[in-house]
Structure 1
Amino acid sequence: MFGFGFSGLIDVIVLHQILQWHHLVSGLYPMYTLDGLEMNILADGLFSLGMLIIMGIGAGLVWQSERRTIVPLAVRPLAGAALIGLGVFDVYDALIDHALLGLHQPVGPGGQPLSPGGQYNPHWIAVSLLFVAAGYYVYRTGIQNRSGSPDDRT
């Protein structure tokens, strides 16, 4: 949950606010009119708040887990789980927000689409799945290093 919320915050801060490639509902409300921009900024703000809550819940779950054990939590499995969450958010964003719902598509300078027809999305999904795979690898190797082979546990 922490990685999912963190990735959502990075997305909205970097892509929506700094680079201004798109806003959360720019597929529904134009970014280039005052009314449309106001609606997009409101949606981005509410989205940021939601991602902050999700990230906070994830951090709370980690804190609760840490308090329930005598042995400190291993960093690699936590980092791996966070990477998985990061990748899952990006897959969700590309498949649901971009492709299925059409809420927004990334655009570049002058409002030109970064890729016509959403062709940006398959590349983003591939990169996102690499994050999930890397996270899974980091998680699994962290578990193995902590307790031996995962197949040895009964």
Structure 2
Amino acid sequence: MTARPSGQAGRSTASGGLAGLGLVAFVDETVFHQLLHWHHFYDRSTADAGLVSDGIFHAFGFVAVVTGLFLLADLRRRRTLVVGRWVGGVLLGAGAFQLYDGLVQHKVFGLHQIRYGVDLVAYDVTWNVLAAVLLLAGAVVTLRARPAAVTA
């Protein structure tokens, strides 16, 4: 049995969290910004400013995924990865990003809305309920995952 210090469970969760955050940012950017053209990251200026903000947002998501995967590779190399905690972290990171986007960026700061020219209630409810489901699933998976006992 390989030793897994208790701190590695936290690193597994953090690595998954970064990967999940970046993954959902990528999906948001690709689907809602590029394919559907529903909004840009920042819609309170010109279309050019919106495109630049999308590029910065995309770079942020990419860095989060790459950082999470580098941490994952390090955990695997050290044989300290707690898979359940990593998966839970992915779900927690995805849900945290989704909830932050839906509440803070959409409502508090008004950087953009999910979609324009429609009644937003159904979109907002769906967006934030999905975030809550991801967070709840991540919490359950993370709490159920137990690192293996440390061996001498």
CA contact (8 A) 1:105 1:113 kept: no
How far apart, CA to CA, are the structure 2 residues paired with 1:102 and 1:119?
17
Q: Identity rate of aligned residues, in percent?
A: 28
Q: 1:122: how far off?
A: 4.0
**C-alpha distance in structure 2 between counterparts of 1:81 and 1:133, whole Å:** 11
Q: C-alpha separation between the residues in 2 aligned to 1:64 and 1:147?
A: 18
Decide which of 26, 29, 53 is 1:9's aligned counterpart: 26
Distance in 1 of aligned mates of 2:113 and 2:119? 8
- The aligned amino acid for 1:113 is V
Asked whether 1:96 is paired with 2:104, we answer yes
Whether 1:22 aligns to 2:30 is no
1:112 aligned partner, one-letter code: G
When normalised by structure 1's length, the TM-score is 0.76
User: Which amino acid in structure 1 is aligned with residue 132 of structure 2?
Assistant: L
Q: Which residue of 1 aligns with 2:4?
A: none
Q: Does 1:85 align with 2:90?
A: no
Q: Distance in 2 between matches of 1:64 and 1:139?
A: 20
Residue 133 of structure 1 deviates from its aligned partner by 0.7
Select 2:62's aligned residue among 43, 49, 52: 52
8 A Cα contact 1:25 1:103, kept in partner: yes
Q: Give 1:125 deviation, angstroms.
A: 1.8
Does residue 140 (structure 1) correspond to residue 143 (structure 2)? The answer is yes
1:130: how far off?
0.9
Residue 128 of structure 2 corresponds to 125
Query: Kindly tell me: are residues 54 and 90 of structure 1, through their superposed partners in 2, closer, same or farther at Cα, counting changes over 3 Å?
Result: same
| Shift in Å, 1:13 | 0.6
TM-score between both structures, scaled by the size of structure 2: 0.77
Deviation of the 1:92 alpha carbon: 0.8
| Bigger relative CO (Cα 8 Å, ≥ 6 apart) | 2
| In structure 2, C-alpha distance between the alignment counterparts of 1:129 and 1:18, rounded to whole Å | 25
> Could you say which residue in structure 2 is the equivalent of 1:151?
none
| In 1: Cα distance, 2:38 partner to 2:50 partner | 12
The gaps in structure 2 that reach 5 residues or longer are: 1-17
Q: What is the CA distance between 1:10 and its match in structure 2? A: 0.8
Q: Which amino acid aligns with 1:84?
A: L
Uncovered stretches (5+) of structure 1, i.e. residues with no partner = 30-35, 149-154
Aligned pairs, number? 132
Code of the residue aligned with 1:68 in structure 2: it is: R
How far did residue 139 of structure 1 move? 2.3
